[in-house]
Amino acid sequence: MINTSNFKWTRTPERYIINKNEVVITTQPNTDLWQRTYYGFRNDNAPVLQITTKDKYFSFTVKTQFDSKKRFDQCGIVMYLNSENWLKASIEFENQSIQRLGSVVTNLGYSDWATTDISSTVKTMWYRLSRRESDYCIEYSYDGMDFKQMRICHMWEGDDEINFGIYACSPEQSSFKAIFTEMELTDCKWPAHK
């Protein structure tokens, strides 16, 4: 397990708790990570808690629990290099029926968004970020054991020292509590392609 004392904030939230093996973030309204594409706006004010590494082969896993209830409320895993180069994976609340399990990759100032709809009754999810040099794999799991691939991507500025960790935000007029536990850093669990 990762000791949370090694993490550092990029934008500290107003309300949070950090224990040895748990982080709790209470989101603030109008916080988000997004760059340019389609919507025409740029938001770069979500709180991000990360550690730094030059290790080019690893996997980072975290369990998220959340009481999100307003559109776009989200919390999950992140690799934030700077405002124009980052990736994230989370569940974004949509309405009482569906949420969007998805990921965003932002390279050179442009974001994409890949999603699949899941039930709004889901309030716990595990994520795993794996690195192989400047290529990355994001996976999700409902139970922390059986992980399924969300996406593979390349980060144009992700080939040397990077920052990775967790984030939570509420892009609209909302606030909710996100709980992060079972954070683990291991050898890379994303096998080489053969």
What integer pLDDT is reported at residue 165 of this predicted model?
98
What integer pLDDT is reported at residue 31 of this predicted model?
97
Q: Is the distance from CB of 32 to CB of 173 less than 8 angstroms?
A: no
Q: Which residues of the chain have pLDDT under 50?
A: none
Q: What is the pTM of this model?
A: 0.96
What integer pLDDT is reported at residue 3 of this predicted model?
82
Q: State how far the Cα of 37 lies from the Cα of 150, in Å rounded to an integer.
A: 20
Name the pairing type of β-strands 114-119 and 98-107: antiparallel
What integer pLDDT is reported at residue 143 of this predicted model?
98
Q: Is the distance from CB of 170 to CB of 176 less than 8 angstroms?
A: yes
Query: Of all helices (H) and strands (E), which one includes residue 189?
Result: none
What integer pLDDT is reported at residue 20 of this predicted model?
86
pLDDT, one tens digit per residue, over 111-128 is 999 999 999 999 999 999
Residue 52 CB partners (closer than 8 Å, separation 6+) = 8, 161, 162, 163
What integer pLDDT is reported at residue 191 of this predicted model?
93
Q: Which CATH architecture has domain 4-186?
A: Sandwich (2.60)
pLDDT, one tens digit per residue, over 177-193 is 999 999 999 999 999 98
Domain boundary assignment for the chain: 4-186
What integer pLDDT is reported at residue 122 of this predicted model?
98
